[in-house]
Amino acid sequence: MSDLENLLSEDRRFPPSMEFAQAANAQPGMYAEADTDRLGFWERQARELSWAQDWTQVLDWSGAPFARWFVGGRLNVAVNCLDRHVDAGFGDQVAIHFEGEPGDTRTITYAGLLAEVSQAANALTELGVQAGDRVAIYLPMIPEAAVAMLACARIGAPHSVVFGGFSADALSSRIADADAKVVITADGGYRKGGAFALKPAVDEAVEQCPGVEHVLVVRRTGQEVGWTDKDVWWHDVVGRQPSTHTAVAFDAEHPLFILYTSGTTAKPKGILHTTGGYLTQVTFTHRNVFDLKPDTDVYWCTADVGWVTGHSYVVYGPLANRATQVMYEGTPDTPHQGRWWEIVANYGVTILYTAPTAIRTFMKWGEQLPAEHDLSSLRLLGSVGEPINPEAWMWYRRVIGGDRCPIVDTWWQTETGAIMISPLPGVTATKPGSAMRALPGIGANVVDDQGRPVPDGGGGYLVLDQPWPSMLRGIWGDPERYAQTYWSRFDGIYFAGDGAKKDADGDLWLLGRVDDVMNVSGHRISTTEVESALVSHPAVAEAAVVGADDPMTGQAIVAFVIPRGGAPEETDALIAELRAHVATQIGAIAKPRNVFIVQELPKTRSGKIMRRLLKDVAENREVGDTTTLADGSVMSAISGRLAAGGGTGDES
């Protein structure tokens, strides 16, 4: 609560410069325009795209919570991202400046990208993929990732991109859930100064998934790969295709992609997005929140295509707006900690969109690193993925933005598809740490337990009280879970799972998740998912996982584990093994920071684990009210175990 009070007494304001404000794409009148006629406003945004057939109705909400936007309209997403720019004479404009981690580069123009996407679309068709079939994509951050997504979109085959850091198990459950027919992968990619492999995980996953007919493999690293009769090389099959492809238009509600995200149970949810509304809102937000000027800007979003930010703000939004962008394969510290700033200087990046966890890492590394590079090309900075603390915000503004760049702190989710709450860079006088307000055309509010809006100065649950064009259309294969998860907490209103506060001016401050979802370096991981990974290890009887505050990653995963058959001799070895086990089950991002071996877990009399108390311990706080515990002595035993330190197994 003291943090909250600090936030609410924040009185620094950063209005845009006059020069920025005058030239900005988004002008102040946009809010009133959208308030007067919300659907008319979105209809005008949709008109910025190229449609093959007009819609008959902007929004059909009669089947709530299942929305249909731009009913009856038809369009092709890839045509909007590529063909229309080439047709308008921009074929020679650079779409992607690719920089591989080892330092190799590729410059891809819009005409070049269209040719590659056409070839890939032809290749997928040859492999038997038809409109409606699902394609899984498991690739590093290389141009082929964008090509593969756009090729799928072009032929109406919904893609399911799986982050390259996920394990074979996580991959196979996602392939199986979406019943993907083809998997697109690579031999590997480059990270942290070396080649990592992707193909072995695919081989393992495909063995579990008989429905997969073909695996299309990009050669990136040239490392040895195992080969089965389902495998085909990308350069063979895509390479020999004609570089033209006639696209057909799809219904506005045709599925565009599925993206799995963690919920409060162990089973990830396949979030479904469709075509017309999604593209309308990502294009609108990308143009207005980032103030994109296609003729002069060089845009760089550092997100991986495996996350929703990579879908909406690396692939679809920027390309629909004819952006020139940078795509970087590797980590920020390879071969040196100034790599990002070198990239900004080399390409003259004007707009940078990244995550608070990265900003805090750079703060730790010191301001001399960015100072060694010319960052004067930057004119706007964005943040996404978790609440940005005012200190990191101020550092970002001063050290990276030279005190001249507006910062847009953008709140949204995999489910929302596009940015929902954010400053408009030429309009809003920003406050360090606040995402400010809902964008024009978006309805957001903070409500209490009963669903009543809280007054200014109050806190509660963040809700979205109007349907929006890029909203999820459901959870793949589970309409019941969709309605239950998002629309049942408050009647007819979307509950986002986040806590938030309105300050005295009514501006919004995001406070993190209020459910059992952790946010580690901007990545969503559910406590239950990690718990079930832990209990799948033969040495574990029971496990409880909490997200503890962490100065670098926002939250860190802390696990409490009861071993089978009493305390083991060698706890350090077991801890190391359990951390590695979670990494194989889910992926390295889900590896607990600490694993504590305990003899009991705090439970209520009805047997529910009291995570709140474990969180107190994990965050070194005095343990809260324990009166509802079945066994009151449990917490002192656990606290004693923690005071002894450790829990990382390798002391890293």
Residues that bind ligand WTA (CB under 6 A): 261, 307-309, 384-387, 409-414, 435, 496-498, 510, 512-513, 519, 524
- Beta carbons within 8 Å of 138's beta carbon, 6+ residues apart: 161, 162, 164, 166, 171, 183, 184, 185, 198, 201, 202
Which residue's CB is nearer to ligand WTA, number 17 or number 484? 484
Pairing of strands 269-274, 255-261: antiparallel
What is the three-state SS of 583-594? HHHCEHHHCCCE
Minimum CB distance to ligand WTA smaller for 122 or for 445:
445
In sequence order, what E strands does 172-305 have? Answer: 182-186, 188-191, 194-197, 214-218, 231-233, 250-251, 255-261, 269-274, 298-301
- Tell me, what DSSP letter sits at residue 424? -
- The minimum distance between CB 317 and ligand WTA, in angstroms, equals 12
Tokens 């085959």 correspond to: 157
Contact, 270 vs 475, CB < 8 A? yes
CB of 58 to ligand WTA, least distance (A): 25
Q: What is the DSSP letter of 314?
A: I
Question: Closest distance between ligand WTA and the C-beta of residue 125, in Å?
Answer: 32
Q: Smallest distance from the beta carbon of 381 to ligand WTA, in angstroms? A: 13
Least distance in Å: CB of 437 to ligand WTA?
A: 13
Task: Identify which of residues 469 and 497 has a Cβ nearer to ligand WTA in the complex.
Answer: 497
How far is the C-alpha of 443 from the C-alpha of 437, rounded, in Å?
9
Residue 423 or 441: the one with the smaller Cβ distance to ligand WTA is 423
Q: How far is the CB of 92 from ligand WTA (least distance, A)?
A: 33
DSSP string, 387-406: PPPHHHHHHIIIIITTTTS-
Tell the smallest beta-carbon distance from residue 495 to ligand WTA (Å): 11
Comparing CB distances to ligand WTA, the nearer of 116 and 291 is 291
Nearer to ligand WTA, 442 or 510 (CB): 510
Q: Whose Cβ is closer to ligand WTA: residue 587's or residue 647's?
A: 587
The nearest distance, CB 171 to ligand WTA, in angstroms, is 18
What's the distance, Cα to Cα, between the start and end of the chain in Å? Answer: 31
SS3 (DSSP) at 489: coil
For residues 296-326, b (16+ Cβ closer than 10 Å) or e, as one string?
ebbbbbbbbbbbbbbbbbbbbbbbbbbbbbb
Q: Are strands 214-218 and 231-233 parallel, antiparallel or unpaired?
A: parallel
- Give CA angle at 121 (119, 122), nearest 5°: 65
Contact between 585 and 593 under an 8 Å Cβ cutoff? The reply is no
Q: Which C-beta is closer to ligand WTA: that of 155 or that of 442?
A: 442
Three-state DSSP state, 160? strand
* Closer residue to ligand WTA (CB): 339 or 437: 437
Quote the CA–CA distance of 222 and 154 in Å, as a whole number: 29
CB of 412 to ligand WTA, least distance (A): 5
Query: Minimum Å distance from CB 341 to ligand WTA?
Result: 23
Which stretches within 373-464 are classed as H helix? 390-395
Report the C-alpha gap between 369 and 147 in whole angstroms: 34
Sign, Cα dihedral of 562, 567, 572, 577: negative
Residue 221 or 389 with smaller CB distance to ligand WTA? 389
Q: Is 99 exposed, middle or buried (0-12, 13-18, 19+ CB in 10 A)?
A: buried
Rounded Cα distance between 10 and 433, Å, is 9
Closest residue by Cα to residue 310 from 331, 288, 328, 335: 328
Provide the minimum distance between the beta carbon of 527 and ligand WTA in the complex, in angstroms, as a whole number.
14
241 or 312: whose CB is closer to ligand WTA? 312
Q: Which is nearer to ligand WTA, 369 or 546 (CB)?
A: 546
Give the residue carrying structure tokens 């907490």. Answer: 489
Q: Looking at this protein, which amino acid is placed at residue 395?
A: W
Output the smallest distance, CB 608 to ligand WTA, in A: 23
User: How far are the Cα atoms of 189, 372, 632 from residue 597, in angstroms, in the given order?
Assistant: 36, 46, 19
Least distance to ligand WTA, CB of residue 192, Å:
23
Q: Measured from the CB atom, is 157 or 496 closer to ligand WTA?
A: 496
Contact 283, 320 (CB under 8 A): yes
Instruction: Give backbone dihedrals phi and psi of 254, rounded to 5 degrees, phi first.
Output: -65, 135
| Shorter beta-carbon distance to ligand WTA: residue 108 or 301 | 301
Q: Shortest approach of ligand WTA to residue 416 CB, angstroms?
A: 8
